[in-house]
Amino acid sequence: MAKELLTLDNGTTCTSWNYSGTRLAAGSADGTLSIFDSRDPPSSSSLHSTFKSRVVEGNIVKIVWVPPEYGDAVACISADGIASLWEEVAEDSRSLQWKVCKSFGSNSNKVLDVQFGISLSSLKMVAAYSDGNVRVFELLDPLELQNWQLQAEFQNVIESVSAFGKASCLSASISWNPQKGGNQESSFLIGFNSNTPELNSSKVWEFDQAHQRWLPVAELALPEDKGDQVYAVAWAPNIGRPYEIIAVATHKGLAIWYLGLNPENNGRLPVERVALLAGHEGMVWQMEWDMSGMTLASTGHDGMVRLWQSNLDGVWHQQAAFEPTS
């Protein structure tokens, strides 16, 4: 039987568990960041508040934890388009406090999403902006979360010579390849919800070490769907599969894609859409895979949480649905 862990304040807009599932960060409409920790002993099923403070002006719309190898830190994205990095530090032998160490974005060019990934033993951060640009930052010193360097900036298009007017993006979704391994090349997935069809479709970007640049290696959209606005993307963990599994949500439904591992003659990775799932009424807001990459959880405008799985015949279906509690 399910047991309640915590009751969040009214006005809570987003939450995020850390990588070990022992800490929960929550953001509120008034800009308050709250941190909850598991009680000792670790087997305890309740959480208690260890930090609560107003850290930004206005609504916090998303919280993302920095990988644990780089300490306890979160990125908070506010409704005004500023992404701020907050780190838990000890100062003057006092108790641990959360301090801001870096900010990205501006009111004129908003940050829509950020995600962190580790590649070649360094921490990278991908940020999507409201003008349709994608920026990749690299941490220069693993002990100094305020020292970031812009590594690359590009637009989410297959052909770099694509010409279009000024883009206006409402949202974006980023998902790193979750494969661990510091010596592997970076790759991530990104899709936009914008007024520019060329930007919207989800594309896989991989770092080309030989030429020191990011290249699009796959586009996850059928020819007739390439202009569809993307609401959310999620890259599944891979435990021994000869292909990757990626979920992409648009107004047409939740698509499951298989991504091949070996490039074709044109340098692109083969893709296949194996399912288009319906169930949510309205926009899908967020998707997350379990650690095995076999179960996908999704939530959206209808307030439902839905779980999706593939059966033994490879047919994807809804496994369960949960209604919100009042």
3-state secondary structure the chain: CCCCCCCCCCCEEEEEECCCCCEEEEEECCCEEEEEEECCCCCCCCEEEEEEEECCCCCEEEEEECCHHHCCEEEEEECCCCEEEEEEECCCCCCCEEEEEEEECCCCCCEEEEEEEEECCEEEEEEEECCCEEEEEEEEECCEEEEEEEEEEEECCCCCCCCCCCCCEEEEEEEECCCCCCCCCCEEEEEEEECCHHHHCEEEEEEECCCCEEEEEEEECCHHHCCCCEEEEEECCCCCCCEEEEEEEECCEEEEEEEECCCCCCCCCCEEEEEEECCCCCCEEEEEECCCCCEEEEEECCCCEEEEEECCCCCEEEEEEECCCC
- How much is the pTM? 0.92
Q: What is the pLDDT of residue 111?
A: 96
Residue 84 · residue 27 · CB < 8 Å? no
Closest CA to 130 of 169, 76, 103, 157: 169
- Residue 271 pairs in a beta bridge with 259
In Å, how far are 84, 87, 96, 143 from 101, measured between CA atoms?
A: 8, 7, 15, 12
Closest CA to 172 of 148, 149, 201: 201
> Going by DSSP bridges, is the β-strand pair 169-176/144-155 parallel, antiparallel, or unpaired?
unpaired
Within 13 Å and on the Cβ side, how many CA atoms surround 164?
Answer: 18
Q: What is the pLDDT of residue 119?
A: 77
Q: Which residues of the chain have pLDDT under 50?
A: none
Closest CA to 74 of 11, 120, 148, 23: 23
Q: What is the pLDDT of residue 44?
A: 55
Distance between CA atoms of 154 and 148, rounded to whole angstroms?
Answer: 18
Distance between CA atoms of 72 and 60, rounded to whole angstroms?
Answer: 19
Distance between CA atoms of 313 and 185, rounded to whole angstroms?
Answer: 33
Q: What is the pLDDT of residue 210?
A: 84
Q: What is the pLDDT of residue 237?
A: 94
Residue 96 · residue 148 · CB < 8 Å? no
Q: Which two tokens stand for residue 129?
A: 């902006």
Q: What is the pLDDT of residue 162?
A: 60
